[in-house]
Amino acid sequence: MNQYPLWKYILVGGILFICTLFALPNLFGEDPAVQISPVYGRDIKLDSTFQSSVEAKLKEANLTASRIDMTPDQLLVRFSDTETQLKAYSILKESLHGYVVAQNLASATPRWLTALGAQPMYLGLDLRGGVHFLMQVDMETAIKQDEEQLVEDLRTVLREKKLHYKGLNRLADAAGGVRVSFADVATRDQARPIVAKDYPDLIIKDRDTADDFGLYLTFNDKNLVERRKKALEQNITTLRNRVNELGVAEPIIQQQGQDRIVVQLPGVQDTARAKEILGATATLEFRLVDGTPDQWQDAQRNNKIPVNSRLYKQRDGSPILLKRSVIVTGDQINDAASALDQRTGSPSVSVVLDNKGAKRMNDITRENIQKPMSVVFIEYRLDKQIVDGKEVKTRKKVEEVINVATIQEQFGKSFQITGLASGEARNLSLLLRAGALKAPMEIVEERTIGPSLGKENIRQGFLSAVLGFVVVMIFMVMRYSTFGIVANIALFTNMIVLLSLLSMLQATLTLPGIAGIVLTMGMAVDANVLIYERIREELHIGNSPQASIHAGFEKAFSTIADSNITTLIAGIVLFSFGTGPIKGFAVTLSLGILSSMFTAIMVSRAVINYKWGGKRLTSLPV
C-alpha cells in the first residue's frame, strides 16, 4: 500500500531533471557586451571575416573580449567588466558604418545549456533599469488619413469612368466623411453603383444642396473597427522596427486596450533620443512641380490654385505649386541610408523603392526629363493650448517641401535626396527604413528607472524571497516534524519548477512578479498542510498509518483542487484585464499554482511513498 510503480518515480524524476536544466541559466548572471547587427533593411550576413575584423579593431585598442558569439544576423562581443565594454563600444561605433552598435547585457549561460534551448528569464524595467512609455494612438487622424486616401482613389475611379464631378473633398467637421458633388441628378445616380461596387464597405447617402447634387460617403462600423485595428498593428510593427534601429535588446512592445501601446526599453537611459524616434510620424511624398515661380506667387496672393495642383511652402517660406497626383509615398520605400553626396559633399539620404514604387518612378521620370520634381516632408505635430483654463490638444499636419530638383535622366529604384542637415539626414533615413506610423501617437506616460535602482530592487526582492522561504521551512518543520521536511523538499522543487516555467516561456520578471513568487511559497505548502491535517485526523480516529496516508492524499485532493482552481481563475482574470505590473504578478501567481499542485501532490507523495510506503508502521512523524 502507498507505493508508486517504477514508471511514476521515473516520470517525477525526469520532470524535475528537465526543470532543473531550464532553471539553471538564471544562476549565471549577465556579461557586459556590445551587440553588432546590420542596419534594418540591409541584406547583410555576418561571417567569420567580419568577426576577424572586429577582433582586430579591439586588439589595436588593447581590448580583449571574453567571448564572441556570432549568428548570421548578430555579433555579440562579451567583456569582463563595464569599463572595457564602454571603450569597445566607442571604438566599434566609430569604425563600423552600416551597422547598429549597441551596449547590451548578455546572458552568461554556458553554451551547452543554450544549445539545449535553456535561457534565463527576462528582467523587467524595475529590475534592470530603462525607460517605459505608454503611447496613445490618435485614431481620429488615422481615419482622417484613410478618408483623404479615399478622396484620391475616387478621383481616379471617376476619371476612368469619365464621370464629371463638381467637387470631391473630405468634410472637415467632426463627423468627417467624403462628399462628391455633381451638376445633375443623372450623373449622381450613375456614379452611385460604381462607387458601391468598388467600395462595398462604404455607407452611401444622398446629400444635396441648392447648387448641386451629392453623395455622402462614410466607412461602416465594421470597417471602422478593422481600420483602427490595422492602424494599431502597423504602429506596433513600425515601433518594433525603430527599436531595432536603436539597438535595444529584449524590448517589450505590446498593445494595451484598443488604442494604446506600451513600450519598455531595458537599459536605455537617453529618453530624449528614444522619444524623438518612437514618436516621430515623418514620411515623404514625391510630386511633380507645376507652373513657374511667378505663377506660385500669384496663386498665393490671389488664392487661385489650379484644379490639379496644391499650394505648398518651401523651407524658406516661399510658395510652390505641386501636382496633386503623388508619384511615390514613404510606405513604398524599402531602404534608406544617410550618406554624403559625392558631387557636393553635403548630407543626403539614399533611397531604395519597392517594385511598385520603382515602376511608377521610372515611368514618371521617363516622361518628365528636364522638369522639376519635389520631395514633401510630412509630419504630424501636437499643439497644446490653454482654452478657458483647460489644456486642449490638437494634431496639426505639417507639410514642407524639402527638396526641388530637375529630373536629368530616367531613374527608378535607387536615388538620392539632398538639401538636408546632417542630423536630419540620419534621423530621416532611420524613420524611412523602419516605416511610417499609420497614425500619430502621443506619450501619455513616461517613466525612467536607473540601473542602480534596479540592482537595489533585485537585492530586496531576492532577500524577501529567501526570508519567506526560510520562515515557511522553519514553520513546517516545527509543525509537522519529519513530514515538514518532506513539505520543504516539495517547496524547494516547486521553486525550481516555477523558475523553469518562467524561463521556458521567456517571461519578464518584475517586482510584482517577485511578490507573486513569495505568495506562491505560502500557497504551495497550503496543500501540504491540508494533506497532513487530514492524515492526523485519520490517525486520531484509529486508522492505520498506511490507511491514514492514503486517505490524507485522496480526501484532501478535492479541497486542494477547488481552492487552487478558484485562485487560478482570479490569476487569469488579472492577466486578461490588468496592465503590465499586474500581468507580471498574475503570470507568476498562475504558474506558481500549477507547479505547487504538481509538487505538493506528486512530489510529496513520491517522497512519502518511497520513505514510508509498503512498511508496517505503528506511528507517523507528522
Summarised one tens digit per residue, pLDDT across range 184-238 is: 888 888 888 888 888 888 898 888 888 888 889 999 888 888 888 888 888 888 8
Q: Give the C-alpha separation, 179 to 245, whole Å.
A: 41
Q: What is the mean pLDDT of residues 79-97?
A: 82
Give the C-alpha separation, 482 to 460, whole Å.
31
Helix (H) or strand (E) holding 506: none
Q: Which CATH code, of 1.20.1640.10, 3.10.310.30, 3.40.640.10, 3.90.180.10, is assigned to 6-24+451-612?
A: 1.20.1640.10
User: In 332-412, which ranges are continuous DSSP H helix?
Assistant: 355-367
Architecture category of domain 30-107 in CATH:
2-Layer Sandwich (3.30)
Same fold, 6-24+451-612 and 140-221: no
pLDDT digits (tens, 9 = 90+) for 429-465: 766 666 667 777 888 887 776 655 566 777 777 788 7
What is the residue-averaged pLDDT of the chain? 81
Angle at 89 between CA 242 and CA 279, to 5 degrees: 20
pLDDT for res 43:
53
pLDDT of 41: 44
In angstroms, the CA 340 to CA 425 distance is: 10
What does CATH list as the number for 140-221? Answer: 3.30.1360
Is the per-residue pLDDT at 411 higher than 80? no
The model's pLDDT over 394-407, given as tens digits with 9 standing for 90+, comes to 667 778 887 787 88
Has domain 280-447 been given CATH number 3.30.1360.200?
A: yes
* Average pLDDT of the segment spanning 271-287: 69
CA 340, 346, 349 angle in degrees (round to 5)?
50
In the predicted model, is pLDDT for residue 383 greater than 70? no
Q: What is the pLDDT of residue 546?
A: 85
- Confidence label for 326 from pLDDT (cuts 50, 70 and 90): confident
Task: Between 438 and 313, name the one with better pLDDT.
Answer: 313
Task: Read off the pLDDT band of 17 (50, 70, 90).
Answer: very high
Contacts of 427 (CB under 8 A, 6+ apart): 276, 277, 280, 282
Instruction: Of 60-74, 203-217, 341-355, 377-391, give the lowest mean pLDDT range.
Output: 377-391
The per-residue pLDDT for 424 is: 61
Q: For 346, how many CA atoms within 13 A lie in the half-sphere containing its CB?
A: 8
Cα distance between residue 561 and residue 596, in whole Å: 11
| C-alpha to C-alpha distances, 378 to 231, 283, 331, 534, 537, nearest whole angstrom | 18, 5, 12, 72, 77
Domain ranges of the chain: 6-24+451-612, 30-107, 140-221, 280-447
Mean pLDDT of 568-594: 83
Q: Is the pLDDT score of 70 beyond 60?
A: yes
